[in-house]
Structure 1
Amino acid sequence: MRIIIDPRVEYRYSSFYRLGLYRLFGSRNISYSVGPFLDLECNTNEQFGAGMQFILVEDNGTEHKVFLDIKDVATIEADKYEWADVYGKVNVAPGETSKYPKLIVTGPEFGLRNRSAIGLGWFGLKNYLKGCRRSNVPLSRYVQTYVYPYIRRRSLKAYERAAAVRPNYVFHASTLWYNEFASTDTNMYRGEFLKACKQAGLEIEGGLFYVEGEAPLKEMPTYPKYKELYKDFIYNHRLSMDAYIEKTKQSVVVFNTPSVCECHGWKLAEYLCMGKAIISTPLKREMPGEGLIHGKNVHFISSPEEIYQAVVEINQNRAYREQLEQGARAYYEQWLAPTKVITRIIEFIRIEKNGKGTYKF
């Protein structure tokens, strides 16, 4: 089987799925060409960053069109859905799979560094040159999306490398966002988690990143309240990705809550990949399979008042913590690993082609 990828695709958010393709098919079976995708427009940053379109070409020449929607919002790209034979999407609103028969819930993913600095630069330039005559996306946008993974992301091996958990230690690093949902949910829950950890007597490292400047004030005039509300946990410097990954692995427990646009954040996929004991608020978007199960893959809480007891239980009950850790990693391996997502897409195509039963995604 051969793979043809549209070169007019942003890199950092699609790097996770590209790794799956390269691992399954090898670089010699993957090419980049704008020709098969001329009926898909790529004239804006939104179109460039919506997802990744590629074509699976079987040995007999049969082609299958695939679009992987990586946006935070739950809306379906109408033109991409019409074009594709399979439409995979990270953030699927509840009930949408029954409305869209070609829709697959891919689940959360995260950006990866899959090439060297020189390799990424050369790779990005080649893709720009291949697609620039059929796109209005500037070279600067390509530079941004191809350089970012080298600076701010790491390889999948870095996440999977084992590290010992430190009892009574919590590391948390997240941004205080500035929209309505963040005010009532994301920021509040993250802040309450850190308060609960402090109440439980755990050593806390990291905190909540406060965004300086005019942008937060324009979107959310009350944003400065966080400096007082979470004054014990505010920090204003960025950690290196190496430190973030290693300290997260050492943390006895991690916390997840839907982020911008009520979406799955990168952190959820990272935590599952690292096999962490996760406390999470209810998810707003679908997950593949049966979803995350309380007590098996994650510890769900439904109110701020439940966080303290969850922190204490996971910190003090090693058997329960290890159960959650093993369950998180098992779910990742079954449903979310890069090769697993691509394999599920291929299985979906074959089931649709042969008309044999259904496959739960």
Structure 2
Amino acid sequence: MKQIIIDPRLKYNYASWYLLGIKRFLKGWKIKYEVSPFKDLKYENTEDYNSGFAFIIRNKDQEKKVFVDTEDVAKIFEDRYEWCDVYGMVNPTKEQVTEYNKLIAIGPEFGVTLGSRFSTIIRCLRLFLKGRKYSAISFKAYLRDYLYTNIRRRPIEAYECETKVRYNYIFHASTLWYNKFAATDTNMYRGEFLKACKKAGMNIEGGLFYVNGESVLKEMPDYPKYKEEYKDFIYESRLSMDDYIRKTKESVVVFNTPSVCECHGWKLAEYLCMGKAIISTPLTREMPSPLVHGKHVHFVNSVEEIYDAVVKINSDEHYRKKLQEGARQYYVKWIAPEIVIQRLLEKVGEQP
């Protein structure tokens, strides 16, 4: 019997993308959650929990081990790498892809809703009980991540359904983060994108979410500077997820830049899934296949280029539609959930 065995000690909001891919691609396979085949993999702290999750493919008398590394940091978890036959990684560097022969760059993903809130809670309880003897992660941590997929995420179909783009309209919603890279890159580029849109006379909604709290100030003492620097774009209350999806799809262009830890953010995967015209700064992590400027995305290499890109995409409908189609085509070919699972299986020579 064709069987897939999944380690229940998974960070559900990150694993949801791949669980959906398994469901879609491995139709007819028996899917079970069992901790015993994975007990040599340690889950003793948050770092272990954030590393990703493991599963095993059993087909006849063959067994293949797969680990999916969903961590934002470009770090190889050596014990997981040694354990598996293929190591799928969201955020590898070019050097890591070259150096580690079992590693495959799988591209960005985002959390999705997989069931009702009730069924999610039941699944959380069931999987927690299955893995608790071999995990030091609390039930509260599990439950928070499971419920996040219902409260702050939506089914993938919500992202895929078409919505008409509004000319001269920009919607952008992102967090002002509070580490060194965020200060010099992520926050700065997002802020400059909104300034460019304002300069271009665009109708702007959303903005930059300002995070309050002592921990923020401890990490970045000058964080309050953003209230003045981006005073035209600051918001301090969470937006509705349904509004976020709908308005993002209506936006004539969207903006991407590497997020905290220089990683692929969830936004890049969302934008590709939605088939958006994307302006992006250069990526610092590897993709399954290069994103091509002018085909899949419009790359900018400096702050000065952002304004010209906004004006071009807003005014040139043909070019905008070319980017939209290219983004969606890339998603379908390389990072849709079922495609990622297919590529992982192909890497170990397994066919469904």
Distance in 2 separating the partners of 1:69 and 1:166: 37
SS in 2 for 1:248: helix
Q: Secondary structure in 2 aligned to 1:342?
A: helix
**1:312 aligned residue:** 311
C-alpha separation in 2, matches of 1:317 and 1:267: 24
Q: 1: distance between equivalents of 2:23 and 2:333? A: 19
Distance 2:281 2:37 in 1: 42
Which residue of the partner structure matches residue 259 of structure 2? 259
Does 1:326 pair with 2:325? yes
| Residues 1-361 of structure 1 aligned to structure 2 (within 5 Å) | 1-26=2-27, 29-58=30-59, 60-289=60-289, 291-350=290-349
Q: Unpaired segments of 5 or more residues in structure 1?
A: 354-361
The answer to whether the 8 Å contact 2:52/2:68 transfers is yes
CA deviation profile, 1:275-315 (whole Å, cap 9, x unmatched): 000000000000012x1000000000010000000000000
Aligned to 2:232, the other structure's residue is in SS state coil
Q: In structure 2, the residue corresponding to 1:95 is in which secondary structure?
A: helix
| SS of equivalent residue, structure 1 residue 269 | helix
Between the aligned partners of 2:234 and 2:145, the Cα distance in structure 1 is: 29
Tell whether the 8 Å contact from 2:4 to 2:29 is kept in structure 1 after alignment.
no
Q: Per-residue displacement from partner, 1:144-200 (whole Å, max 9, x unpaired)?
A: 111111100000000001000000000000011111111111111000000000010
Q: Tell me how far 1:274 sits from its aligned partner.
A: 0.2
SS of the aligned residue for 1:64 comes to strand
The Cα RMSD (Å) is: 1.2
Stretch moving more, 155-164 or 342-351: 342-351
Q: Give the length in aligned residue pairs.
A: 350
Structure-2 separation of matches of 1:216 and 1:166: 36
Is this contact kept in 2: 1:2–1:25, CA < 8 A? no
**Greater CA drift, 199-208 or 140-149:** 140-149
Distance 1:116 1:183 in 2: 38
What is the alpha-carbon distance in structure 2 between the residues aligned to residue 168 and residue 81 of structure 1? 48
Question: Offset of 1:9 from its aligned partner?
Answer: 1.1
Conserved? CA contact 1:38–1:134, under 8 Å: yes
The residue aligned with 1:359 is none
Of residues 28-37 and 295-304 in structure 1, the stretch that sits farther from structure 2 once superposed is: 28-37
TM, length-normalised to structure 2:
0.98
Hey, what's the Cα distance between the residues in 1 that align with 2:247 and 2:129?
40
Q: What runs of 5+ residues in structure 2 fail to find an aligned partner?
A: none
